[in-house]
């Protein structure tokens, strides 16, 4: 083969290789980048909501408390305090909760069934193949029970830990993101992107303290408020921006305004509501 012909053949092979790489990269991207299937709350203005989660959900004022207080301070106000229940087991994984017992309204002092059950689980559940498989199995089973009792399932995407937590460099954020979108979309659950809001808040303001300095895991007041604002936006389709609630003066105005804005931006982008 002449040098000229050899050069043409080599050029054609290189072009095919680039094209194949582009196709493979595009296919891989389409498989790994997911968006939520459920983009709006499955219940319009839910009044009866059950929260299940460990200390990350009840620390520094409690997620459900900040959420119903944000709702009550909104314009117009939404009064949901009497319909919110929260059950917590310290250090628990999702499968530790007796779901059949808890979703029966009579067992927790209600006459009517819960409209939405928010499943928080544990930050550890995305960290190994076995834990992810167990989480998926549990969500599928819990979703069936919740539906049997007339409710809808929501999955709370928990934030990744930060330093000094020993898991701070473990890509907990990426693993949790993949698990939440995969499992949530499989069962058709609303995914509440609290972990994504934390990630964005740290990106925009690296010095903000959203998690306690002693463990890099439990939320500060600002972190739990941010979570409440995300839950509020996800469940009610409303923005917390401008809301006067500040945990009775515990949160300074600059921090409150910042986390309200991040929560709103995160919810709108995640659900494609822009």
Peptide bond between residue 76 and the one before it cis (omega within 30 degrees of 0): yes
What was the pLDDT predicted at 212?
98
- What is the layout of strands, in order, in the sheet containing 84-87? 84-87, 49-53, 116-121, 152-156, 190-192
Domains and CATH numbers, the chain: 48-270 (3.40.50.1110)
C-alpha neighbours within 13 Å on the C-beta side of residue 89: 14
Residue-wise pLDDT tens digits, 123-171: 999 999 999 999 999 999 999 999 999 999 999 999 999 999 999 999 9
Give pLDDT tens digits for 170-207.
Answer: 999 999 999 999 999 999 999 999 999 999 999 999 99
Q: Work out the pLDDT band at 34, boundaries 50, 70, 90.
A: confident
Question: Which pLDDT does position 22 carry in this prediction?
Answer: 37
**Looking at residue 219, what DSSP letter applies?**
B
Query: Any residues with CB less than 8 A from the CB of 188 and at least 6 apart, and which?
Result: 37, 38
pTM: 0.88
Q: What is the pLDDT of residues 257-270, one digit of tens each?
A: 999 999 999 999 99
On average, the pLDDT of the chain sits at: 90
Band of residue 32 on the pLDDT scale cut at 50, 70, 90 = very low
Q: Which range is least confidently modeled, 5-14, 23-32, 72-81, 197-206? A: 23-32
Q: Is the pLDDT of residue 108 over 70?
A: yes
């Amino acid at each position: 083969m002449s040098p000229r012909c050899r050069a043409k053949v080599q050029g054609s092979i290189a072009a095919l290789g680039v094209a194949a790489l582009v196709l493979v990269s595009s296919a891989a991207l389409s498989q790994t980048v997911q968006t939520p299937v459920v983009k709006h709350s499955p219940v319009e203005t839910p009044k009866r909501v059950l929260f299940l989660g460990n200390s990350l959900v009840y620390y520094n004022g409690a997620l459900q408390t900040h959420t119903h207080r944000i709702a009550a301070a909104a314009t117009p106000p939404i009064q949901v305090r009497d319909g919110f229940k929260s059950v917590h087991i310290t250090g628990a994984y999702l499968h530790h909760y007796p779901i059949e017992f808890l979703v029966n309204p009579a067992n927790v002092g209600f006459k009517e069934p819960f409209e939405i059950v928010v499943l928080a689980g544990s930050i550890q559940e995305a960290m190994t193949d076995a834990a992810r498989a167990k989480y998926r199995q549990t969500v599928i089973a819990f979703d069936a029970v919740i539906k049997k009792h007339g409710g809808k399932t929501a999955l709370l995407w928990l934030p990744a830990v930060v330093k000094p937590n020993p898991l701070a460099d473990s890509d907990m954020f990426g693993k949790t993101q993949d698990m939440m979108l995969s499992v949530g979309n499989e069962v058709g659950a609303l995914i509440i992107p609290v972990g994504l809001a934390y990630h964005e808040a740290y990106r925009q303001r690296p010095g903000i303290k959203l998690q306690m300095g002693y463990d890099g895991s439990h939320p500060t007041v600002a972190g739990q408020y941010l979570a409440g604002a995300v839950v509020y936006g996800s469940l009610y389709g409303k923005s917390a921006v401008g809301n006067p609630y500040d945990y009775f003066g515990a949160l300074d105005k600059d921090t409150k305004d910042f986390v309200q804005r991040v929560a709103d931006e995160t919810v709108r982008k995640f659900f494609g509501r822009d």
